């Protein structure tokens, strides 16, 4: 066999090489006519090579960017390559397939531009895994890896469908309104309105009119009839936030609505049926308020049919990376930026911080950083001056929040979820069974004395 003088492969060798890679590859000439189409391109698009060759690329590669923002056209026009751009195509069966594309100019051995080359990777499995992870940690607009929050998520559909009055307790910024919205969206009243009332922000003299409405002439400035929040929430849900701030006089009116399901607009003698589901929230310990005489005991019993206690962020610090990613993703979309995430130093500082303002404080700190961070990772210099960063990096994290603690907790939670079946727990966590066995032995994780041990 005669040896070639150059190191370039022959056309046959090139075809064999391209057919052996897992990514789809096709090339086009200067008119965007497909000149080569490898085996993986056939598999991903569902289009046979014979049908693809000789056709314009947009006739074969039906992508959401073909009409306006074609990656190949951008590269041939500017000379700039496109790297791992996420798009969606329609395969031969009309099914949407998520892929990532990369493009480059195609040159001959003399360096002359002959057209373009595009490689693309099927992201269907990646997208499926991403959704599986999201579904595991997401519920409605809430996200959490915390065992306590996941326990709440598991019973939330039953609570929502019960139609009972709910009391949500938690510090300011823990997501009480998101919880109320989730209850409404899962309930049989989801097609009705969700009306939110911040009882602590409305002066006591106006609260009755805001809640129950008024008739024309009920007071000096009442020029016309005005429906209250209870009327506006008809066939839906009314969310009474900071219900612990309602004065004793108005607590009596709320008690009547809960007991008799009727109310009277201010200045009216006619009772109106309250066709609403009531969800309340407070950042106070209402049981203590009852003992102190500041909150009516009978009203407390009426609103405390089902109680949900939201843990503060300092008690669910394993959620900080997840919440931070979600906030950054949302702000990137709103502000048109490409912030990658948190630097390790910032993440360490976040894990050491006590977060008295909870998730709302976390949002505010990241929003401040977005103003000062042009791109890349958020660094300590981008955080507010009042936020301590870079201190205590060599200190041990708080008890329960080391990597080992979180790993042990995750393994124990997976074992409990799977009735202490190690193989099922391993599948749940994406590790092998031997890892579960070694970690259990290392940390002394054992099944309860009775039942469930396998």
Question: Where residue 344 sits, what CATH number does that domain have?
Answer: 1.10.8.60
* Pair 209, 242 in one domain: yes
Within-domain flag for 77: yes
pLDDT of residue 7: 55
**pTM exceeding the 0.85 threshold for the entire prediction:** no
Based on the fold, state whether residues 320 and 300 are members of the same structural domain.
Answer: no
Q: Which residue has the tokens 């923002």?
A: 69
Mean pLDDT throughout 278-304? 94
Residues 216 and 260 in one domain: yes
| 309, 337, 367 - which closes a domain | 309
Higher pLDDT, 357 or 1: 357
Interval 255-279 mean pLDDT? 88
Comparing CA positions, the residue from 409, 309, 316 lying closest to residue 359 is: 316
Residues 421 and 374 reside in one and the same domain: no
Q: What is the pLDDT of residue 305?
A: 94
The Cα 417–Cα 412 span in angstroms is: 9
| Alpha-carbon gap, residue 274 to 323, rounded angstroms | 37
In a domain, 129, yes or no: no
Distance of alpha carbon 377 from alpha carbon 312, whole angstroms: 26
Averaged pLDDT, 413-442: 78
- Do 74 and 87 contact (CB within 8 A), yes or no? no
Is residue 35 assigned to a domain? yes
Tell me: pLDDT of 394 over 50: no
CATH number at residue 43: 3.30.450.20
- Which CATH number goes with the domain that contains 411? 1.10.10
Indicate if the pLDDT at residue 23 is higher than 90.
no
The pLDDT of residue 402 is 56
What are the pLDDT digits (tens) for 320-370?
Answer: 998 998 899 889 888 888 888 898 899 999 999 999 999 999 999 999 999
DSSP state of 132: H
* Mean pLDDT along residues 27-42: 91
End-to-end CA distance of the chain: 65
Q: How far apart are CA 189 and CA 185, in angstroms?
A: 8
**Same structural domain, 71 and 157:** no
89 pLDDT above the threshold of 80? yes
Whether 450 is covered by a domain: the verdict is: no
pLDDT of residue 309: 94
Question: Which residue carries 């022959």 as its tokens?
Answer: 10
**What is the enclosing helix (H) or strand (E) of 184?**
helix 176-186
278: CATH: 3.40.50.300
Residue 337 inside a domain? The answer is yes
Listed in sequence order, the residues at least 6 apart from 64 whose beta carbon sits closer than 8 Å to its beta carbon are: 87, 88, 89
- CB of 212 closer than 8 Å to CB of 204: no
Which phi and psi angles does 72 have, rounded to 5°?
-65, -40
Is residue 304 located within the same domain as residue 344?
no
Who wins on pLDDT, 309 or 219? 309
- Which domain-ending residue is among 309, 334, 350? 309
Q: Quote the strand ranges of 42-148, DSSP E.
A: 62-63, 82-90, 96-107, 113-122, 138-139, 142-143
pLDDT at 230: 93
68 and 145 in a single domain? The answer is no
Output the furthest CA–CA distance in the chain (Å, rounded): 107
In a domain, 410, yes or no: yes
Give the torsion sign (CA, 79, 85, 91, 95). negative
Q: Which domain holds residue 241?
A: 134-309
Of 98, 122, 146, which residue constitutes the final position of a domain? Answer: 122
Q: Same structural domain for residues 193 and 84? A: no
Question: Do 190 and 304 reside in the same domain of the chain?
Answer: yes
Compute the distance between CA of residue 62 and CA of residue 99 in angstroms, rounded to an integer.
12
Rg of the chain's alpha carbons, rounded to an integer? 30
Residue in this structure with the two tokens 């409605």, named with its chain if needed? 140
Q: Are residues 266 and 365 in the same domain?
A: no
Quote the CA–CA distance of 422 and 36 in Å, as a whole number: 49
Q: Mark whether 42 and 75 lie in a shared domain.
A: yes
Res. 308 pLDDT band, cuts 50 70 90:
very high
Q: Is residue 101 part of a domain?
A: yes
Could you read off the pLDDT of 36-65 as tens digits, one per residue? 999 999 999 999 999 999 998 888 888 767
Is the model more confident about 284 or about 64? Answer: 284
Give the pLDDT of residue 97. Answer: 86
Looking at the DSSP bridge assignments, the partners of residue 139 are 142
Number of domain units in the chain: 4
CB atoms within 10 A of CB 76: 19
Kind of pairing, strands 272-273 and 226-227? unpaired
At 364 the three-state DSSP class reads helix
Helices 176-186 and 147-162: crossing angle in degrees, nearest 10, is 40
Task: Flag whether 104 is in a domain.
Answer: yes
Higher pLDDT, 400 or 348: 348
For residues 373-412, one letter each, b for 16 or more C-beta atoms within 10 angstroms of the residue's C-beta and e for the rest, the string is beeebbbbebbeeebebeeeeeeeeeeebeeeeeebbbbb
- Provide the residue count of the chain: 454
Do 208 and 190 fall within a single domain? yes
CA distance 101 to 75: 12
Cα–Cα distance for residue pair 293/443, rounded to 1 Å: 48
In this predicted structure, the answer to whether residue 453 has a pLDDT above a threshold of 50 is no
Give long-range contacts, CB 8 A cutoff, 24+ apart: 283-288: 283/169, 283/170, 283/171, 283/172, 283/176, 283/242, 283/244, 284/244, 284/245, 285/169, 286/167, 286/169, 286/244
């Amino acid at each position: 066999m005669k040896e070639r003088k150059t190191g370039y492969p022959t056309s046959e060798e090139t075809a064999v090489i391209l057919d052996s890679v897992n990514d789809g590859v096709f090339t086009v000439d200067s008119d965007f006519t497909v000149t080569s189409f490898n085996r993986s391109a056939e598999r991903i698009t569902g289009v046979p090579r014979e049908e693809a060759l000789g056709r314009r690329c947009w006739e074969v590669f039906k992508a959401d960017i073909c009409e306006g923002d074609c990656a190949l056209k951008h590269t041939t026009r500017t000379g700039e390559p496109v790297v791992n751009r996420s798009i969606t195509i329609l395969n031969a069966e009309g099914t949407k397939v998520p892929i990532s594309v990369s493009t480059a100019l195609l040159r001959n051995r003399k360096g002359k531009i002959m057209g373009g080359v595009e490689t693309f990777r099927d992201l269907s499995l990646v997208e499926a895994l991403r959704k599986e992870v999201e579904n595991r940690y997401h519920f409605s607009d809430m996200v959490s890896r915390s065992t306590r929050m996941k326990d709440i998520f598991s019973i939330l559909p039953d609570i929502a469908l019960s139609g009972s009055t709910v009391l949500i307790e938690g510090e300011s910024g823990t997501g009480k309104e998101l919880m109320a919205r989730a209850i409404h969206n899962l309930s049989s009243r989801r097609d009705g309105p969700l009306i939110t009332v911040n009882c602590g922000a409305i002066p006591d003299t106006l609260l009755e009119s805001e809640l129950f409405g008024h008739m024309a002439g009920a007071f000096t400035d009442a020029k016309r009839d005005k429906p209250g929040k209870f009327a506006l929430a008809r066939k839906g849900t009314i969310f009474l936030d900071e219900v612990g701030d309602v004065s004793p006089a108005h607590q009596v009116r709320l008690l009547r609505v809960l007991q008799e399901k009727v109310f009277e607009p201010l200045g009216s003698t006619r009772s109106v049926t309250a066709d609403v589901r009531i969800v309340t929230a407070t950042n106070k310990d209402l049981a203590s308020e009852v003992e102190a005489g500041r909150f009516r005991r009978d009203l407390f019993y009426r609103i405390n049919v089902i109680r949900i206690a939201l843990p503060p962020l300092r008690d669910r610090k394993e959620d900080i990376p997840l919440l931070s990613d979600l906030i950054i993703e949302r702000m990137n979309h709103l502000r048109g930026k490409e912030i990658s995430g948190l630097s390790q130093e910032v993440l360490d500082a976040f894990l050491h911080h006590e977060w008295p303002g909870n998730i709302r404080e976390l949002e505010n700190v990241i929003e401040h950083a977005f103003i000062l961070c042009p791109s890349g990772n958020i660094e300590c210099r981008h955080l507010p001056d009042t936020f301590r960063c870079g201190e205590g990096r060599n200190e041990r994290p708080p008890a329960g929040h080391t990597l080992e603690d979180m790993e042990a907790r995750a393994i124990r939670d997976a074992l409990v979820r799977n009735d202490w079946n190690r193989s099922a727990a391993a599948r749940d966590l994406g590790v092998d069974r031997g890892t579960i066995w070694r970690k259990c032995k290392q940390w002394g994780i054992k099944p309860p004395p009775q039942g469930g041990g396998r």
